[in-house]
């Protein structure tokens, strides 16, 4: 079976189309968690951490709806004719998207699948307000599991 690629990203860091709509990475499935999962960045003890930290992952996992979403994505990834690439986005890409991507990589890996993880925006500072102009995404971290 082919390896599955997982990408986390932040909508506020994406390039935009001519009509101003953010253009997410190309993927078989794009999961937008901005309205589905509470932003863990509101918790002051993890504010300066990112989704690569187990404490952030724990907060994300314990957010209402997160376990169900994680199970759904892991089942989807394990389908015989399943996806090659799943992208998960939140506002800034630092907490929800990257934390959920790490949790999903572990769940898929536990099922014996090879996983390639890419975090596009986890290294960027927290987004405190909506940017005035379009930004370009850059892949900075990539690991094979």
Mapped to the 3 state alphabet, what secondary structure does the chain carry? CCCEEEEEEEHHHCCECCCCCECCCCCCEEEECCCCCCCHHHCHHHCCCCCCCHHHHHHHHCCCCHHHHHHHHHHHHCCCCCCCEEEEEECCCCCHHHHHHHHHHHHHHHCCCCEEEEECCCCCCCCCCCCCCCCCCCCCEEEEC
- Tens of pLDDT along 54-97? 999 999 999 999 999 999 999 999 998 889 999 999 999 999 99
Query: For the segment 92-114, what is each residue's pLDDT rounded down to a tens digit?
Result: 999 999 999 999 999 999 999 99
* pTM of the model as a whole: 0.86
């Amino acid at each position: 079976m082919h390896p599955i690629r997982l990408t986390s990203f932040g909508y506020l860091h994406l390039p935009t189309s001519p009509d101003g709509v953010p253009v997410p990475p190309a993927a078989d499935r794009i999961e937008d968690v901005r309205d589905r999962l509470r932003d863990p960045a509101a918790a002051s003890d993890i504010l300066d951490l990112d989704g690569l930290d187990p404490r952030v992952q724990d907060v994300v996992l314990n957010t209402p709806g997160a376990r169900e979403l994680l199970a759904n994505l892991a089942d989807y990834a394990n389908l015989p004719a399943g996806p090659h690439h799943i992208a998960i986005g939140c506002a800034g890409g630092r907490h929800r998207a990257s934390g959920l991507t790490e949790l999903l990589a572990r769940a898929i890996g536990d099922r014996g699948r090879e996983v390639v993880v890419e975090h596009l925006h986890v290294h960027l500072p927290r987004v405190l307000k909506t940017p005035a102009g379009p930004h370009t995404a850059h892949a900075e971290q990539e690991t094979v599991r």
